[in-house]
């Protein structure tokens, strides 16, 4: 049965890459999800644009303010939708997190740095408004896949994004990235040339150029078989953060693809790659228990 879901996921998502991840939404509809969770609210505005919305998931039994997880999807900065990631929202909700699954503005209608600004806005919203839905605004974690991992990394590492919003950075306790592009100059693909080719100062598009010590802990996860975003991106950011004196961990999964690292968050597929367990352990290691 697990093999069936894995093959189905691979076929659907690879096909969906050509159709704005429509196939991922089909995968999300049919994949078994974590029980004892519920959708608290949908399409909550964190900004004024129609794309600046998020969905909120929580465990059915909520005891006290819950630590918060922000999830940012991938899609080459030009596609993707939170509606295909209910399985992620419910996965972390089942483990006791209030989980925010967000959309963001997309290229080309909204060129760089709009999608990075939206990652910052989502984090800022979590530190200011998650308590309204049962979350702990002082314990915010974030997870991103592919372009979403890039958006989060740059929003955190380049201090200008959160500083502009007056965000309480101390409330952000950990960042986990899956298959993120962090070091791709000279522009190394048709996608990066399309999205970043018109940017005047390309150095400002690279997360590795903003590595510094005063950032939350980072967990960088990547697959060795990723031919969409090469593992050298993970190694480069890990090295830059280590050299800067930051708290960072790197794990490369042998034989895992760009799609495989993400779909292994789904309940039936977690046995293939320990993505979910590694991210969950990382978040829980930095979660502070709240006294009753």
* Domain spans, the chain: 2-285
Give me the pLDDT at residue 1, please. Answer: 55
Give tens-digit pLDDT for 38-93: 999 999 999 999 999 999 999 999 888 999 999 999 999 999 999 999 999 999 99
Residue whose tokens read 């090469």: 230
In degrees and rounded to multiples of 5, residue 117 shows phi and psi of -60, -35
Residue whose tokens read 């899609």: 75
pLDDT greater than 50 at residue 275: yes
CB 72 within 8 A of CB 142: yes
Give me the pLDDT at residue 18, please. Answer: 37
Give me the pLDDT at residue 4, please. Answer: 60
3-state secondary structure of 255: coil
CA–CA distance, 198 with 218 (Å, rounded to integer): 30
3-state secondary structure of 289: coil
pLDDT greater than 70 at residue 267: yes
CA–CA distance, 222 with 6 (Å, rounded to integer): 18
Give me the pLDDT at residue 162, please. Answer: 98
CA–CA distance, 257 with 229 (Å, rounded to integer): 9
More confident residue, 7 or 133: 133
How much of the chain, in percent, has pLDDT values that exceed 90? Answer: 86
CA–CA distance, 213 with 216 (Å, rounded to integer): 9
CATH top class, domain 2-285: alpha beta
Q: What is the mean pLDDT of the chain?
A: 92
**What is the mean predicted confidence (pLDDT) over 16-30?**
67
């Amino acid at each position: 049965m697990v093999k069936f879901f894995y093959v189905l996921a691979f076929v659907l998502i690879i096909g969906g890459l050509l159709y704005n991840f429509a196939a991922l939404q089909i995968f999300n509809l049919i994949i078994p999800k974590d029980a004892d969770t519920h959708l608290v609210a949908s399409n909550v505005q964190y900004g004024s644009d129609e794309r600046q919305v998020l969905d909120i998931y929580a465990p059915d039994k909520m005891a006290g303010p819950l630590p918060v997880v922000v999830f940012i999807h991938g899609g080459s900065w030009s596609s993707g939708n939170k509606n295909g990631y209910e399985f992620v929202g419910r996965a972390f909700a089942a483990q006791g997190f209030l989980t925010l699954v967000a959309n963001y503005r997309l290229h080309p209608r909204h060129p760089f740095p709009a999608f990075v600004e939206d990652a910052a806005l989502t984090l800022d919203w979590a530190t200011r408004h998650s308590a309204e839905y049962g979350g702990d605004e002082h314990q915010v974690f974030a997870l991103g896949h592919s372009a979403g991992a890039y958006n989060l990394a740059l929003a955190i590492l380049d201090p200008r994004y959160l500083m502009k919003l007056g965000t309480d950075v101390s409330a952000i306790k950990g960042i986990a990235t899956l298959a993120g592009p962090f070091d791709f100059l000279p522009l190394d693909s048709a996608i990066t040339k399309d999205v970043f080719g018109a940017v005047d100062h390309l150095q400002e598009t690279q997360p590795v150029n903003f590595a510094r010590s005063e950032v939350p802990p980072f967990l960088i996860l990547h697959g060795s078989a990723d031919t969409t975003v090469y593992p050298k991106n993970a190694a480069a950011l890990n090295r830059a953060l280590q050299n800067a004196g930051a708290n960072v961990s790197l794990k490369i999964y042998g034989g895992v693809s760009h799609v495989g690292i993400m779909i292994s968050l789904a309940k039936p597929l977690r046995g293939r790659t320990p993505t979910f367990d590694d991210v969950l352990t990382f978040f829980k290691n930095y979660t502070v228990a709240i006294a009753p």
